[in-house]
């Protein structure tokens, strides 16, 4: 019986590896393509906040989003970062609508990580493992999240480590820089201009 199981494993393993390789190639090809989803449908969005200036930059980017399109929004920060989530909560509180005398909190979640369709990040170290996890889920066919990386405006001449890894490994679907010399140095990046 041991030889039969070994023979079956020898037959199944190459097929599984081939399927995984095909899926990996498909994900690399499909990443960066325009979305096939309806532009009017709400898109779940994961926003990665980091300490220091990363949160201020990301909150400036979030304020420019179409709130009705990128909804619900899930905010994630490291356990050691208490200030970032507070800033996001203050911002989301400012969006509360009052309907018939009752406050209605719309589409903001904090601290919990959900499977999201869109991930926006701008350079904190906490964004890299989340993006890798989203990419692995894509390869395995368990979920498809588009990753939008916006390099910090502080990065003028070279990318941050998170940005460099996401760029070189082709994990980010859309990669934006805020300085033209970075776009020249990294041709797959999109020059977005100053977003702050």
Phi/psi of residue 69, nearest 5 degrees: -85, -45
Q: Nearest 5°: phi and psi at 16?
A: -65, -40
> Global pTM?
0.57
The pLDDT value given to residue 188 = 93
Q: Which residue has the higher pLDDT, 43 or 38?
A: 43
Domain locations along the chain: 41-116, 120-195
Q: Band of the pLDDT at 40, cuts 50, 70, 90? A: low
What mean pLDDT is predicted for residues 58-81? 83
What are phi and psi for residue 131, nearest 5 degrees?
-65, -40
């Amino acid at each position: 019986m041991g030889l039969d199981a070994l023979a079956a494993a020898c037959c199944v393993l190459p097929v599984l590896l081939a399927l995984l390789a095909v899926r990996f190639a498909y994900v690399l090809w499909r990443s960066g393509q325009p979305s096939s989803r309806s532009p009017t449908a709400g898109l779940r969005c994961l926003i990665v906040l980091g300490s220091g200036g990363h949160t201020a930059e990301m909150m400036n980017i979030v304020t420019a989003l179409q709130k009705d399109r990128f909804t619900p929004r899930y905010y994630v920060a490291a356990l050691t970062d208490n200030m970032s989530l507070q800033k996001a909560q203050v911002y989301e509180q400012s969006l509360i609508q009052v309907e018939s005398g009752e406050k209605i909190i719309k589409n903001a979640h904090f601290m919990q990580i959900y499977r999201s369709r869109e991930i926006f990040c701008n350079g904190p170290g906490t964004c890299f493992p989340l993006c890798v996890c989203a990419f692995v889920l894509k390869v395995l066919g368990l979920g498809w999240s588009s990753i939008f990386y916006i390099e910090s405006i502080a990065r003028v001449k070279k990318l941050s480590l998170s940005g460099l890894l996401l760029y070189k490994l082709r994990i980010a679907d859309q990669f934006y820089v805020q300085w033209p010399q970075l776009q020249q140095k990294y041709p797959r990046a999109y020059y977005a201009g100053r977003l702050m």
